A and B are shown apart, each in its own frame.
Chain A
Amino acid sequence: MNSLLARFPVRLLIGLAAPALLIGWWQWQASAHIVSFAPPAAVGSALVEMLRSGDLLRDTLSTLARAFTGLAIGAPLGVALGIAMGIWKPVDRVLGPLLHALRQVPMIGWLPLMGLWFGVGEGTELIVVSMSAFFPSMLNSHAGVAEVERRYLEVGSILRFGTVQRIRFILLPAAMPLVLTGITQALAFAWIATIGTELLTGAGSGLGVAMGQAQMQQRLDVMLVVIGATAALGFVINHLFRRLRRSALRWQPSLP
């Protein structure tokens, strides 16, 4: 049995069984009664239609732009602050409690407050997305610097490193794995926050906006295309970041 399972075609066949069953059930449901239950084939035509009209491309691009803008704002701030807090205890003592208090609020929970302050729109969405990217970057960078092994710092002391040398040659490279973990997490969080804020504010274009509209128009086919696009993009971006991380950390013996 196990040796049979080791063969790729067998695995593939078994792995496809569950999705096939799901689709079969869905087809049956769709043909049976419920109106909003578009049949599986409709998803294909919806995809073609959305590709042809350019809607899917437009929504994807605006979601990507939002997520990466938020990442570009939140992650550098988070990394810088996290590292500063790890190196200089007073910074940690002053900012730490505040940041840890803010961190407890579910990120999307900031949306109503930001909406009140800045109006419902692009600015508010960007703030929430940036905050989502900020916290994981900050926390991981902080941990990365704070957990640098003492024995390496002792080597720095023996080699008479000054503060700048200690930061450049020991603290930063030693913290790099966690900093990059933080940025990878920040990306995932920013991606989710982007979809969430788009869905909630429903302004402009974006995959989240498209989802909200599909829900209101009861278009399951469109909805599934958008969900599929979200999943595929999330997967691709995540994969790319992992590869980047791997190549940046060649010096590590084995990667988790």
Chain B
Amino acid sequence: MTPYPHAREDRLSAKTGRGELIVSDLNKSFTINGQPRRILDNINLTVRPGEFVSIVGASGCGKSTLLRLIVGLDTEYSGELRLDGERIATTSLDRGIVFQDHRLFPWMTLEQNIELALLNTDTPRARRAQIVADHIALVNLKGFEKAYPHQLSGGMAQRAAIARALVTEPRLLLLDEPLGALDALTRVHVQSELQRIWMAQRSTMVMVTHDVEEALYLGDRVIVMSPNPGRIRRIVEVDLPHPRDRRSPLLHRLKDEILAELTSGADADGDAGNLVHLPSREAR
């Protein structure tokens, strides 16, 4: 029912890797006001080929930093980051990313934006238009090829960004809160879309999100991180076949568990910064 992008198997057999990500002993520090501050502390994680892994955690737990390291935008880290055995030292067309803001170039149409991603691939020119059309169809945006980003709704723009990230057929797709800026209804819709796309593509995906429900709905595993410094607190296996039903009792039970874990963590760390303190009446 959904058009599968062209001959995926060819590519898999042609390339050596299948999208296995290994993170070992990863540490990352920033210098803030002259002081080094640890953002990621000893992260160890293996993502299996074709797996969907979700990462949840409070603000400041370094989950976005982790994705920036994996995609290669930030290359200063200690420890190991390997995709199919190859150490990550810079960006690569094997690793795609979707950001929270769609980052489509506003001066290009949807079609041009997606085709631009093929610029530095060895895809023959003659086939590019077809591949672009396939991917536009994959994210259900047929008919909007000539639209400029500002003419698309938030959800449509985000799906277009997903198409751009997928068009190079990356072995690993990173999703940095891709649905964070969408309203609740659109969000649910694009989540289902994302699940369908992943099932069609079966590339390895790592998604960072604030939303525990979303993490559980999509992820084969959910990594729970804690902040200051960013650590992996727990890894939750979600043993449910895709496509999933949101109302599944297992998902709800796991959600309650993870939420309990995240909120108790905040108290334990004494991080009350999220609370608003109302001045007491007497003080006035």
Contact = CB atoms under 8 A, between A and B. Distances in A.
Interface of A: 151-152, 154-155, 157-162, 165, 169-170, 173-174, 176, 250-253
Contacts of B97: 158
B18 to A, nearest CB: 21
A159 B107 contact: no
A108 B117 CA distance: 49
7 contacts: A151-B101, A158-B96, A159-B168, A162-B120, A174-B107, A250-B148, A251-B149
Given A159-B120, A252-B106, A252-B150, A151 B99 contact: yes
A211 to B, nearest CB: 43
B181 interface: no
Which one of A151, A154, A158 has the highest number of Cβ atoms from chain B below 10 Å of its Cβ?
A158
A174 B103 CA distance: 13
Closest 10 CB pairs of A and B: A253-B150, A173-B107, A160-B120, A251-B107, A251-B148, A158-B91, A155-B103, A157-B91, A159-B117, A151-B103
A176 B106 CA distance: 12
Interface string B114-127: 00110110000000
B107 A165 contact: no
Contacts of B116: 159, 169
Determine the main DSSP class of B at the interface with A: loop
A140 B279 CA distance: 48
Interface string B79-120: 000000000000111011101010101111000000011011
Contacts of B150: 251-253
A251 B119 contact: no
A160 B93 contact: yes
A160 B107 contact: no
A141 B222 CA distance: 47
B26 to A, nearest CB: 20
A54 B5 CA distance: 70
Interface residues of B, number: 24
Contacts of B108: 173, 251
B71 interface: yes
B153 to A, nearest CB: 13
A253 to B, nearest CB: 4
Contact of B93 (A152, A159, A252): A159
Contact of B119 (A151, A159, A174, A253): A159
A152 to B, nearest CB: 6
B73 interface: yes
Contacts of B92: 160
Given A155-B103, A253-B150, 20 more contacts: A154-B73, A154-B103, A155-B105, A158-B95, A159-B116, A159-B117, A159-B120, A160-B91, A160-B120, A161-B119, A162-B120, A173-B105, A174-B105, A174-B107, A250-B148, A251-B108, A251-B148, A251-B150, A252-B106, A252-B150
A158 B92 CA distance: 6
Which one of B73, B105, B148, B149 has the highest number of Cβ atoms from chain A below 10 Å of its Cβ?
B105
A76 B116 CA distance: 28
Contacts of A174: 105, 107
Contacts of A250: 148
A251 B106 contact: yes
Given A157-B73, A158-B71, A159-B119, A169 B105 contact: yes
A154 B71 CA distance: 11
Contacts of B99: 151
Given A169-B116, A252-B150, A158 B73 contact: yes
A176 B120 contact: no
A173 B149 CA distance: 14
B201 to A, nearest CB: 18
A157 B91 CA distance: 7
Nearest to A250: B148
A12 B265 CA distance: 69
Contacts of A173: 105, 107-108
Nearest to B150: A253
A158 B93 CA distance: 7
Contacts of A165: 119-120
